[in-house]
Structure 1
Amino acid sequence: MFRLAHLSDLHLGPLPDITYRELASKRITGYVNWQRNRRKAIHNGVTDALLHDMGEHNIDHLAVTGDLVNLALDAEIEVARDWLTMAGAPERLSVVPGNHDAYVPGALRKACKAWRPWMTGEKTHIRQSETGFPYLRSNGQVALIGVSSAHATAPFLALGTFRDEQAASVAKLLDVAAERGLFRVIMIHHPPVRGLTTAHKRLYGIGLFQKTIAQHGAELILHGHTHDPTLTWIEGKGHRVPVLGVTAAGQSTGGDKPPAQYNLVEIDGKPGAWRVTHSRRGIKGQLPTFIVEGSDPEDLFSAPQFDAK
């Protein structure tokens, strides 16, 4: 059995010292939001506790679907690299970026360079972007395919994109993994499902993403961005594909969003006969008394939502 954990939206704090020059950009809006709202709700100790609980459950791999930082300051990017070093060796931890990691032009390139050991895939000769996406990593019976929806946007926007070039490469990676008989997990920050977030935070290219999955198949899709624990489905090749969202990994109790959780997915079986269970584990009550069972494990591949509609 392979145990896969999924975290997202760490928003590691506190913010480092910031200069007036650095604020002379979209960062001013994010800085105000941090001071007014996010710094009161995000608590690094919560994320640490989730990692401790993963250790208790013998996790084989950790998938992190973006927004490690807040304003993509150089100092934040380095702090996130230190966190990754602490959280897991590159062969046991995979990352894709979120919109906050690409907060201003040039930030995504810096973040991907600093976090490259956790974003590097196998050499497949399939075309990648200048920041290295999409990538394929295989670990035992599981293939992790990292997709980037992150790019810099105007103030008050948190949009993501999935375009033709990346779609073509993702399709090829899905086929490569299928030929090897692997359980294919796609990691992306923005939800590839309509209606899960507002218009100014949505993914451009949802239709293209879903068409790619319908034609080439996948077994599981993980995303972040919404800070909500969601489970939806999209059409795949032969069966519908579960799409899992998760709460913000640093979210403490008492905020507008649910407190921090991680998805725990247990994978066993073989192609055509996969056995996959899912549960959420997270915090309850005030720090530091928390790690509790989030829900009873749910069998994703025999759920009634897979019936044709």
Structure 2
Amino acid sequence: MYVIAHLSDPHLGPIPEARISELLGKRFFGMMNWIGARRRNFGASTLTPLIADLLAQAPDHICVTGDLVNVSLPAEFDTGATFLASLGTPHKVSVVPGNHDAYVRSALAYHLERWAPFLAGDDTHPNTPVDVDSFPYVRRRGQVAVVGVSTAIPTAVFLASGQVGRSQRNRLSDLLDRLKAEGLFRVVMIHHPPVGERAFHRDLRDAAQVRAVLARAGVELVLHGHDHRSSLGQIPAADGPIPVVGVPSASAGPDDDRGAGGYCLYRISGEPGAWNCEMERRGYRRGQSAVESLTRQMLVGSAAPQ
């Protein structure tokens, strides 16, 4: 059995001090959002016990699906790197960026530079810089392949949308075919969800095209963040529906309107054509201060929903 833990959207605070020139434009509105709401509802008092509980489960691998930072100030990416290292070594921890990790165009390269050990594929040469063309990346871990897809693009004020793009979709399609031929359980990490309905300013712009790639390849599991909610969707595919799982913000307080902080565990076993995957949701119940097991269900296997 191979166990993956999945968390997302920690929005690590506090926001560091910045020059006035750094806070012009979109960052200014992001700061106001932090001061007005997020600072009160997101924080270490929630995140620290949650991470302690996650590490106590001793997962084999940890997947982080983006939005580690808030307004993409340079120092926030150092905080993000420290957070990732606190979860484990780069061999054990994989991350993909979210829209806040590419909040403004001038910060687009920061996550690529400072989180490189955690988002470089197994085949990436140590001296090769990670760039946007490095996605999707793949990490083979036993019978499991973790595939990281980037939806992080700079957007205008009040926009939080994402896009995979044609070139990355083509690379993803080819990669998923190779991994299927290797007989691996393919776990796709992506920040923006490829299923469900949401306002245009928060959507995945090429969601339909991404769904088509995933459906044709018939991947085993898709993990995402962005919505700050627990969710379970499906993508119809020839070999059966593909489960698409969202988790709440790992830093959200027990009374957060979109859902208290939480994460998921996925217990993967079996073999090609006969995979099993059980999901356990762990986190806070509304209004409660303790992290606990919330639900368990089969996602893949004979008892999985069809």
Aligned residue among 179, 186, 192 for 1:177: 179
Give the structure 2 partner of residue 192 of structure 1: 194
Q: What is the rounded CA distance, in whole Å, between the counterparts of 1:53 and 1:108 in structure 2?
A: 32
Equivalent residue number for residue 216 of structure 2: 215
Unaligned runs of 5+ in 1: none
Report the alpha carbon displacement of residue 304 of structure 1 after superposing the two structures with TM. Answer: 6.3
Partner SS, residue 254 of structure 1: coil
Q: Is the 8 A contact 2:260 2:286 kept in 1?
A: no
Aligned equivalents of 1:85, 1:131: Cα separation in 2 = 24
Structure 1 residue 296: Cα displacement: 3.0
Question: 2 CA distance for matches of 1:113 and 1:200?
Answer: 27
Matches of 1:130 and 1:149 in 2, distance apart?
10
Looking at structure 2, the residues matched to 106 and 236 of structure 1 have their Cα atoms a distance apart, in angstroms, of 39
| Residue type at the aligned position of 2:106 | G
Question: Quick one: which amino acid aligns to residue 178 of structure 1?
Answer: K
TM-score relative to the length of structure 2: 0.94
State percent identity of aligned pairs: 40
The yes-or-no answer on 1:68 pairing with 2:41 is no
| Structure 2: unaligned runs, 5 residues or longer | none
Counterpart position of 1:114: 114
Shift of 1:171: 0.8
Q: 1:255 to 1:54 in 2, by over 3 A?
A: closer
Is 2:112–2:131's contact at 8 Å kept on the other side of the alignment? no
Contact 1:213 / 1:237 at 8 angstroms: preserved in 2?
no
SS at match of 1:281: strand
Counterparts of 1:281 and 1:116 in 2: how far apart (Å)? 28
Q: What is the match of residue 53 of structure 1?
A: 53
Partner of 1:165: 167
- Kindly indicate whether residue 89 of structure 2 is the aligned counterpart of residue 89 of structure 1: yes
For the aligned residues, what is the CA RMSD? 1.8
218-227 or 43-52: bigger deviation: 43-52
Show the counterpart of 2:268.
Answer: 267
Paired residues of 1:112 and 1:131 also in contact (CA < 8 A): no
Contact 2:10 2:251 in 1 (8 A): yes
Stretch of structure 1 that moved more, 182-191 or 292-301: 292-301
AA paired with 1:16?
Answer: P
Q: Deviations over 1:95-115 (max 9, x none)?
A: 000000000003121111100
Instruction: Please tell me the residue identity of whatever aligns with 2:147.
Output: I
Residue matched to 1:6: 6
Structure 1, residues 231-253: CA drift from partner, whole Å, max 9, x if none? Answer: 01002341110000000010012
Q: Matches of 1:263 and 1:83 in 2, distance apart? A: 18
CA-to-aligned-CA distance 1:36-65 (integer Å, 9 cap, x gap) = 000000012322222211222221000000
- 2-structure distance, mates of 1:56, 1:76: 27
Separation in structure 1 between the aligned mates of residue 40 and residue 229 of structure 2, nearest angstrom: 18
Name the residue aligned to 1:231.
Answer: 232
1:124 to partner: Cα distance: 8.1
* Distance in 2 between residues matched to 1:200 and 1:67, nearest whole Å: 16
| Distance apart, 1:153 and its partner CA | 0.4
Tell me the equivalent position of 2:16.
16
- CA distance in 1 between counterparts of 2:219 and 2:78 reads 33
| AA of the residue aligned to 2:88 | G
Return the offset for 1:297: 3.4
Counterpart amino acid of residue 37 in structure 1 = A
Cα deviation, 1:141-167, whole Å, max 9, x if unaligned, reads 110100000111001000101221111
Contact 2:196 2:233 in 1 (8 A): no
Deviates more, 1:296-305 or 1:268-277: 296-305
Aligned-partner SS, 1:177: helix
Aligned residue runs from structure 1 range 123-162, under 5 A: 123=123, 130=132, 132-162=134-164
- Aligned amino acid, residue 298 of structure 2: E
Q: Contact between 1:96 and 1:148, CA under 8 Å: does it hold in 2?
A: yes
User: 1:237, 1:13 → 2: CA distance?
Assistant: 43
How many pairs align?
302
CA contact (8 A) 2:55 2:87 kept: no
Matches within 5 A, 1:94-109: 94-109=94-109
SS of the residue aligned with 2:101?
helix
After TM superposition, the structure 1 stretch with the greater mean CA deviation from structure 2, 160-169 or 59-68, is 160-169
Alignment TM-score, normalising by the size of structure 1: 0.93
In 2: Cα distance, 1:129 partner to 1:14 partner:
27
Q: Are 2:64 and 2:96, in contact at CA under 8 Å, matched by a contact in 1?
A: yes
